[in-house]
């Protein structure tokens, strides 16, 4: 036979289930939000790195173009390669190399 106490036990079980489910949803939501924030930071760093690589590639392309122009005009000289190496090293070390 069904009693009022059995009905209360069912409601108590439902309440416990909903509390546990709510806590689980909040914890999983917080973990997903944290993961998304970390992912956005990583993507932002990748974008900055990509911009840096693109800028350096343009500098290297310009330096190589200068070397080719100088070699065509003056012939091969070690000074051209030396100038390229110094400019690249200065940029690598954080120095400011003015491009013409």
Summarised one tens digit per residue, pLDDT across range 22-49 is 999 999 999 999 999 999 999 999 999 9
Is the pTM for the entire model greater than 0.75?
A: no
Q: DSSP letter string over 38-92?
A: HHHHHHHHHHHHHHHHHHHHHHHHHHHHHHHHHHHHH---HHHHHHHHHHHHHHH
Phi-psi region of 98 (alpha: psi -120 to 50; beta: other; left: phi over 0): beta
């Amino acid at each position: 036979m069904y009693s009022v106490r059995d009905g209360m036990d069912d409601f108590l079980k439902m309440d416990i289930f909903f509390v546990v489910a709510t806590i689980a949803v909040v914890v999983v939501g917080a973990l997903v939000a944290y993961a998304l924030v970390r992912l956005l930071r990583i993507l932002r760093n990748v974008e900055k790195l990509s911009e840096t690589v693109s800028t350096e590639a343009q500098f290297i392309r310009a330096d190589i173009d200068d070397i080719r122009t100088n070699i065509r005009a003056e012939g091969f000289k070690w000074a051209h390669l030396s100038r390229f190496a110094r400019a690249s090293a200065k940029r690598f070390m954080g120095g400011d190399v003015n491009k013409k």
